[in-house]
Structure 1
Amino acid sequence: MSDEGRLIAGRYRLIERIGRGGMGTVWRAEDEALGREIALKRLHAQQHLSEDELATVHERTRREARSAARIAHPNVVVVHDVLDDEGLPCIVMEYVHGTTLGALLKGGGALPPGEAARVGLGMVAALRAAHAAGVLHRDVKPGNVLLGGNGRVVLTDFGIAMATGTSTLTKTGEIIGSIDYIAPERMRGHKPGPTADLWALGATLFQSVEGRPPFRRATAMETAYAIAVDPLAPMKQAGPLEPLIEMLLAKDPDERPSAEETERALRVVASEAPGATMGTATGGTTEVAWASAVPSRATATVAATGPTTSAGATLTDSGSGSVPPTPISGGGSGSAGDGTGRPRRKRRRLLWSAAAVTLAAAAVAGGLYAVTADDGGHGRKGSGTATAPTASEPSPVPAGFRLVREKTLGVTFPVPDGWKRDGRASAEQVTYTDPSGLVGLTIGTVNPAGANPESHFQNIEANTKLNYSTYRKLRMQRTTFQGKPAAVWEFTFQGQVRAFRAIDFGFGEEGGTEYDIYLSAPEAQWDTHRPVFDTVKAGFRVG
């Protein structure tokens, strides 16, 4: 390497390149003034960026140094200095002898649950210290976890951290970070809190025991949709860590355990591991009590790999069918009640604290995703009736359809004969698919509704356009339906094998419930399947 042996700032001698990413290179170096080994992170020259973009990148690097420097904790990397070298920012940090968790897990490697819990304890300790200092990490992942040769676990790379009272240094709707570890609320464009870091911790623990990220799909677009709406796949190797990981990966941030609760749970698992020396939690009784206090996370969302609608339905376009695609859902705010009159956050804490309560306390509220579809008509082939039916009229059921009643959603609508109800329905949505699995109808709700579903769709679309180049809007417009504000959104996107087209229609009054109808199908067969949407919409009844 041409830079090996070079002296930076008159005191830091570059010895060996130990890491390289998209934004910078990390070197093992020697601080000649103090005679100690250090790690030096130097940004790359970014010729393709404008001056404003470069200024933002450089400020992020300086912020990384400031964010890490304000956290004094043995599980957080120590920052010694920040400087410029030939106009490029550099961070001087302590050098940790060892490897990264990412390197250890490379190629599908995995850890025993007890060892994963030990690593998790170091991570959650670092996060507790960061959050106490007012710093969100926002890029927790295996590659940013250093494993020292002496057993020390160190969280590093605060490059996109956000400190309380600072600007975000991002454009509106921009999502930065490693896609596999970005929490669902960040996918929806909501402001993240400490629980977003805990979701990333859960994703890291999942990969540590299962050998893969929890929602990894073939493309970044599909991974983002899966994080937003897919239920968590069953774990095969998590053992006693499974209940905690399920809770950490809850779609609703209010349903996740706190950092303190997570640390207690990890201590139980680590102390019960073979050869463990930790004595803070002893005996099988403690472990059983902890596990029984963690309710199973409701699988409230439908599988998704294409764009996800406000209903959160999606489909895996693998060539055969599974469940049809939709754009990232907007959902609710996470503060709504759970049917008991208590806010969700309070209810979750009650469940966690009641060690004698069994898993049947299934009060964990469902996910926050609902579906939307189009308003029909507008001269399209096979459009439905011209007048919107009222809720009191009987729902028309034409030949080839059957009437279904979804009691949980409080709605009735026609469904084509032969279409099957997906078994992963939730309190917020249900999906029916055709025999091929490539055409899907999702009915869902958003509660409380906003002023008009169009703003809901626009929020979803903002992230979709930014992150997925194959998305193309055909139309989005306001209308009315059954005397209520409504909106239509129609678009296309590219699946793994073929192009899809979707129509999303939502209606509802502000403060009440928004009802959504969403249909997606291969674009080449759109004229064949579009009439299904019109029939469902014409026969849709609330109550």
Structure 2
Amino acid sequence: MSERGDRLIGGRYRLAARIGSGGMGTVWRAWDELVGREVAVKQPRLPGDPEDDAHQRAANRLYREARAAARVDHPAAVAIHDVVVEDGLPWIVMELIRGESLDDILRRGPLKPADTARIGFAVVGALHAAHSAGIVHRDVKPANVLLGPPPLSTSLERGDPHGRVVLTDFGIAHIQGEESLTASGEFVGSLEFIAPERMAGQGAGPASDLWSLGVLLYAAVEGWSPFRRATVESTLAAILSDEPPEPGQAGDLGPLITQLLAKDPERRPDAAKSAAVLEAVAEGWTVPVVTDTPRECQPPSASREFAGYTETVRSGPPSSVTARSETAGPPPAEPMPSPTEPDHRSGRRRRPSLRLFAASVAGAVLLTGGIWLGISFRGGDPRAEAQSRGDASPSASASASPSSPTVNGWTIHTEKDMDAILSVPAGTPLLDRNDSGADHRNPSRTVIYGDETVQLRLTREEAVPTPINNWADEVTLSHTDDWADTLSSPTTFNGYTAMELDTEYGVKEEKFRVMQLLIVTDANEYYHLRVDMPKGTKDEKRGTSMFKGAIERLKVGKSMVGQVTLGSRP
């Protein structure tokens, strides 16, 4: 089906344009011809043959998603209008929320405590309504929180850039009292937001959702997720064993976040107590003190659900998306890996001991030796606060060329020979410009900005392996270092196919990090953006800020660059 279509679903919902997709389906903007309004329609994408058990479980799960969401009556919970059976599968019709996800917003930098509290207050209200209806969401994360535009009066009075906050995607919600629809051992969730009791095989209860809310609040105010690590295995170990650093930018939200991230679910504040703190911080009131006195928790469900709408992270060989339990026992806490000086290679090589470590962690998580399906989390990086302010300038300084304007702290370089516009923090010097020439087998053009410590490079390739997964494998399998681990995330860039890679590697005692974005335009133009930096130093924060800021401002391809050159400012 094309990006724009006119297919009629259920005799009344005419599909207009695709607005999102995930592992289990595509979301369309559609027009309800019966009542004359725009709606969102979720088209299912299910694995296997319709007669297979897995396919039937997934279809049942979609029915259950609609029932679960429809039972939650709260302004911050997405409203379900209808469920239409088409081609033997349930298409879910829901309200169309105009705006952007919290995940998109956090890409531009962290939020103030009051703004975070306002969002958290809405989310915890939706969770409380769900828990009261016997429903556990089980996938609370920034990507599932949508923020719509505010009414004009609200925007003018409070300077608030967003209005309604909506918790979406009850697709893996567990409805208490219903039979589990998944096979034994199946599990789903966005890894870094999953509570430790779920990792230990105890299932999900209301307190598990509140843990996920705590991680969300932490990421919102600090700009990075406290348990995210370079590999699936080390992330699992961090959730089970590591205490997160004290939030430094949370203000009055700090104590609540710390309490929500208690390993013992009985010591976490419930939804009502959390809501009281969040409302007080949002409104500037005196913040109530919440003690960690053990409370009586609702027993968690023991079921595990089928895969949901998440991006898949690969840790290991290119085809690897699962971790299988081989041994049991609690794993040792592994410190977050940390790589490096700028290195102009890219790639991945596994630590020799990593497979055994993965087995021990998976054994602790899945006590019965089940298989993890659809484990995923965003392969991004801690977002530096400077990213949103545009002040991530390197230590070295250089004057911008008169032909390279500087806007909001970023100098805009038009790379005509590459059909690209690349922005770098003001003062970042040009280190190298290279054209491999037509005599080479795979000619390419490269430009590098930075200093001895952090380097940003953009390459236009004339020929790369296809599809993009093969290209990603090529650039992440060339390491000859002591060890290397890579996270890869399929994504899009201005509508183009893209892949984001985040590699940490070691050379002797030194550790480094390289972040990369691969882009394939509609005209089959190939662009490779990367930043090399040392790991575990202040320069890593500067490098990640430079990478994210460069992506936000990057223009590539003859079509896009031509429009900018002839028309508006880049």
User: Normalising by structure 1, what TM-score?
Assistant: 0.54
Consecutive unaligned residues in structure 1, runs of 5 or more: 273-281, 296-305, 331-455, 470-495, 500-543
Name the amino acid aligned to 2:333. Answer: T
Change (3 A) 1:319 1:183: closer
Change (3 A) 1:498 1:155: closer
Q: Quote the residue 1:124 is aligned against.
A: 124
Q: How does 1:136-155 map to 2 (within 5 A)?
A: 136-150=136-150, 151-155=163-167
Other structure's SS at 2:18 match:
strand
Aligned equivalents of 2:280, 2:338: Cα separation in 1? 44
Aligned equivalents of 2:200, 2:223: Cα separation in 1? 27
Q: Alpha-carbon deviation of 1:85?
A: 2.2
Aligned equivalents of 1:97, 1:173: Cα separation in 2? 37
Q: Quote the residue 1:106 is aligned against.
A: 107
Q: How does 1:127-526 map to 2 (within 5 A)?
A: 127-150=127-150, 151-272=163-284, 282=285, 286-287=286-287, 290=289, 293=291, 310-316=329-335, 318=337, 461-462=367-368, 466=372, 497=483
Name the amino acid aligned to 2:114. Answer: G
CA contact 1:83–1:89 (8 Å) conserved in 2? yes
1:151-205 CA-to-partner distances (Å, cap 9, x unmatched) read: 1111111101111111222233332111111110000110221000101111111
Aligned equivalents of 2:205, 2:277: Cα separation in 1? 21
Aligned equivalents of 2:15, 2:147: Cα separation in 1? 22
Aligned equivalents of 2:107, 2:338: Cα separation in 1? 29
1:384-403 CA-to-partner distances (Å, cap 9, x unmatched) read: xxxxxxxxxxxxxxxxxxxx
Change (3 A) 1:224 1:135: same
Q: How does 1:42-81 map to 2 (within 5 A)?
A: 42-47=43-48, 51-81=52-82
Q: Alpha-carbon deviation of 1:468?
A: 12
CA contact 2:26–2:43 (8 Å) conserved in 1? yes
CA contact 1:188–1:463 (8 Å) conserved in 2? no
**How many percent of aligned residue pairs carry the same amino acid?**
45
Aligned equivalents of 1:110, 1:179: Cα separation in 2? 21
Q: Alpha-carbon deviation of 1:3?
A: 5.2
Q: Alpha-carbon deviation of 1:106?
A: 2.7
Change (3 A) 1:106 1:317: closer
Q: Alpha-carbon deviation of 1:241?
A: 1.1
Aligned equivalents of 2:191, 2:50: Cα separation in 1? 22
Q: Quote the residue 1:10 is aligned against.
A: 11
Larger radius of gyration: 1
Q: Alpha-carbon deviation of 1:466?
A: 4.1
1:109-160 CA-to-partner distances (Å, cap 9, x unmatched) read: 2111100000000000000100111111111111111111121111111101
Change (3 A) 1:259 1:317: closer
Consecutive unaligned residues in structure 2, runs of 5 or more: 151-162, 294-322, 340-350, 376-481, 486-570
Name the amino acid aligned to 1:249. Answer: L
1:274-297 CA-to-partner distances (Å, cap 9, x unmatched) read: xxxxxxxx3xxx33x527x569xx
Other structure's SS at 1:290 match:
coil
Other structure's SS at 1:185 match:
helix
Q: Quote the residue 2:312 is aligned against.
A: none
Name the amino acid aligned to 1:101. Answer: L
Aligned equivalents of 2:374, 2:173: Cα separation in 1? 24
Aligned equivalents of 1:199, 1:255: Cα separation in 2? 11
Other structure's SS at 2:483 match:
coil
CA contact 1:228–1:328 (8 Å) conserved in 2? no
Aligned equivalents of 1:98, 1:116: Cα separation in 2? 17
User: Normalising by structure 2, what TM-score?
Assistant: 0.52
CA contact 1:328–1:460 (8 Å) conserved in 2? no
RMSD, matched Cα: 3.4
CA contact 1:27–1:39 (8 Å) conserved in 2? yes
CA contact 1:117–1:267 (8 Å) conserved in 2? yes
Q: Quote the residue 1:95 is aligned against.
A: 96
Q: Quote the residue 1:36 is aligned against.
A: 37
Aligned equivalents of 2:55, 2:38: Cα separation in 1? 30
1:462-518 CA-to-partner distances (Å, cap 9, x unmatched) read: 45864799xxxxxxxxxxxxxxxxxxxxxxxxxx9399xxxxxxxxxxxxxxxxxxx
Aligned equivalents of 2:483, 2:131: Cα separation in 1? 43
Aligned equivalents of 1:467, 1:30: Cα separation in 2? 34
Aligned equivalents of 2:3, 2:338: Cα separation in 1? 49
Name the amino acid aligned to 1:265. Answer: V
Q: Quote the residue 2:443 is aligned against.
A: none
Q: Alpha-carbon deviation of 1:212?
A: 1.9
CA contact 2:139–2:193 (8 Å) conserved in 1? yes
Aligned equivalents of 1:498, 1:104: Cα separation in 2? 30
Aligned equivalents of 1:316, 1:464: Cα separation in 2? 26
Aligned equivalents of 1:457, 1:175: Cα separation in 2? 14
